[in-house]
A and B are shown apart, each in its own frame.
Chain A
Amino acid sequence: MSLPDDTPQGRPAMPTAIIRPMKTSWLHRLVCAVAILIPLAPLSPARAALTIEIIGTGATQLPIAVVPFRAEGGLAQQITPVIAADLARSGVFRTIDSGGLNPLPHEPQDLNYSTWRARGADAVVIGAVSQLPDGRYDVRFRLMDVAKQAQLAGFAYTATAAQLRLTAHRIADVIYETLTGAKGVFSTRIAYIVKKGKRFELQVADADGYGAQTVRWSDEPILSPSWSPDGTRLAYVSLERKKPVIYVQSLMTGQYQAVANYWGSNSAPAWSPDGKRLAVVLSKDGGSQIYFINPDGKGEPRRMTFSTAIDTEPNFSPDGELLLFTSDRGGSPQIYGMPVAGGEPRRLTFEGSYNVSPRFSPDGKSFTFIQRNGGRFNVAVQDMTTRQVQVLTDGTIDESPSFAPNGRVILYATETRGRGVLSAVSSDGRVKQRLSEEGSDVREPAWGPFPK
């Protein structure tokens, strides 16, 4: 199956570095990233957006001012409020007010650095928007270092009106990477399940909860969404056929197909990093065991585990060589690791009697999972080498953790007042965000990959 790498809205022109050229890899990444605005065309927009609440702050917060861009006031989608919200939400930045300045600076020569030093800003973001003859917009920004009085980054983008919000996330990504060294995830997307009355909806939204779109809905439960590594497909489990069946759905066309509908239950899909296979759990031979299948459902499943116990929740390491899974072969559910090429599974968790739902970090050096402590189920992280465990959350029922593609944040499901909400915690446990949708039950989040 070949997927188009362009959008109906048209490919935005290449962003150009302002003044100081950046590395080509950066340019390339930005071009491709903005270009691959994946359309969810055949799908319906969801009614309410997720709202985000931030709890806690980072160990150190970088003070940054985001000055309103020239001529952005007339846009239906303003740019700088999105950038400022992205940066603030990460917990790593503290936004400095730019009110009371007249005129507002938009170019480096307009900047009075002493003003910004007095306001406590270490960095200032300035920029401008202008409409092109074809109706699209030119958006350009510069990230300025107040102490050095020098430009740290600067890019120009061409975007349609519909791409302005994504452009703002892209700019926030550049700022985040320039100042923290880690890639930003503001332009990535998340998938999750919303329960509205008796209706279950599989939704995809921007990482900030905006732009939610319903990918699939059913009156029967949907669970376990899993992103293909290129971000163009979702695998998930639906009970619409009165049993768990695994589907794969294209986000480009909206088309879906059952890829595992064997005798018994079919669940827990996980993509291999090369996108060429799915690890799944089938009970066709008795018991819940892990198999590999093709993502198009063709061919015979290849059995990977051979136990009389429960083996479930498979997850590939980023290099594709190791499989994590949950098994109760030792008497209680624990996390095991197994070479994909074959070999004995090795138990990895030893603290406590209930450790489930493993997901590798993007660098493969650790994994997140759910640990039961007394009556509580919490998000934890274990180092692959030292086996050291850090419990990151303190909710009662925390579930389904998954790493952001930059490894800095873990998204998970929790409950407040009997209602499911999504939360995110920084991988050091310091910053928490809560994403909730009014009157809905939200669960089963999965953070999508970096756009390719």
Chain B
Amino acid sequence: MRKLLTATISLLLLALAGCAATPTAEQSGAAVEDRGKPVGPPGPVPAKPTPDSGAKPLVDKPLGAAALKDPGNILSRRSVYFDFDSNLVKDEFRPLVTAHARYLQQNPGARMRIEGNGDERGSREYNIALGQRRSEAVKQMMQLLGARPDQIESVSFGEEKPRATGHDEKSWAENRRADIVYQGE
């Protein structure tokens, strides 16, 4: 229980820290995130992560799940971007992957799907395999950080579900991506 509580509090702190932070060097470093959709609502982030924040932060799961959707929390960031023809998880995405790995470790019942994607160039089936390799790279990193393999299903959409539909490097970069989706989302 104490462990749970500690985890809960640290998550809450993490969440609050996220809320307070204005765009930092690290966030702007992850510039690819900003190309597509904004990760949260515009304007000031609400101070309270949940309506009853502070009242009873004793139950781990509800808070955890809330953190996943809290735009100020790193757990609300779900996309890992890759370079052309690469499945290397770049340093700028390590904090994100680490946070999700920790979440899985702290929520043994949590399950996620990592959806690999690729740009439109080349064979559709080969791009499914490239997307698979990307989603597996993220999964492997999470396993090394303590997540159980059965918590993560890595799959691939290849080039089939592009987020950006242009035919240029900007769109291609946006589509070379692995997305984290929790069960029930």
Contacts and interface: CB of A to CB of B under 8 A. Distances in A.
Do A and B truly interact? yes
B129 interface: yes
A312 B128 contact: yes
B124 interface: yes
B113 A283 contact: no
Interface residues on B, range: 20 to 34
Contact of A312 (B125, B157, B160): B125
B132 A444 contact: no
B155 A310 contact: no
Interface string B129-173: 110110010000000000000000111111011000001000000
B24 interface: no
A354 B122 CA distance: 9
A4 interface: no
A357 interface: yes
Nearest to A222: B160
Interface string A390-433: 00000001011000000000000000001000000000000000
B124 A265 contact: no
A283 B126 contact: no
A357 B158 CA distance: 15
B123 interface: yes
Given A221-B161, A333-B126, A418-B167, A283 B136 contact: yes
B140 to A, nearest CB: 9
Interface string A261-281: 001110110000000000001
Interface of B is mostly: mixed
Contacts of A283: 132, 136, 154-156
A326 interface: yes
A399 B130 CA distance: 17
B34 to A, nearest CB: 26
B155 A357 contact: no
A281 B123 CA distance: 14
A223 B160 contact: yes
A326 B123 contact: yes
A286 interface: yes
Nearest to B166: A418
B124 A244 contact: no
A54 interface: no
Given A242-B113, A286-B136, A288-B128, A264 B155 contact: yes
A399 B124 contact: yes
Nearest to B156: A265
Nearest to B161: A221
Contacts of A399: 123-124
A244 B121 contact: no
Interface string B48-80: 000000000000000000000000000000000
A161 interface: no
Given A242-B113, A313-B126, A288 B155 contact: no
Contacts of A281: 125, 128-129
Contacts, number: 93
Contacts of B132: 264-265, 283, 287-288, 310
A243 B155 contact: yes
A444 B125 CA distance: 11
Interface string A223-239: 11000000000000001
Nearest to A377: B122
A397 B121 contact: yes
A310 B129 contact: yes
A397 B119 CA distance: 13
B160 A267 contact: no
Contacts of B124: 223-224, 399-400, 444
B84 to A, nearest CB: 12
A372 to B, nearest CB: 7
A356 interface: yes
Contact of B128 (A265, A354, A357, A444): A265
Contacts of A124: none
B121 A357 contact: no
Contact of B126 (A242, A263, A310): A310
A377 B121 CA distance: 8
Contacts of B153: 243, 263-264
Nearest to B140: A286
B123 A239 contact: no
A287 B181 CA distance: 20
Contact of B123 (A221, A265, A288, A357): A357
8 contacts: A223-B160, A283-B132, A326-B123, A326-B125, A356-B126, A357-B125, A357-B126, A444-B124
Interface of A: 221, 223-224, 239, 242-244, 263-265, 267-268, 281, 283, 286-288, 310, 312-313, 326, 333, 354, 356-357, 370, 372, 377, 397, 399-400, 418, 444
The 3 closest A-B CB pairs, nearest first, are A221-B160, A243-B155, A288-B129
Given A264-B155, A267-B128, A418-B167, 17 more contacts: A223-B125, A239-B157, A242-B115, A244-B128, A265-B132, A267-B125, A312-B126, A312-B128, A312-B129, A326-B123, A326-B126, A333-B122, A333-B123, A333-B126, A356-B123, A397-B120, A444-B124
Interface of B: 113, 115, 120-126, 128-130, 132-133, 136, 153-158, 160-161, 167, 181
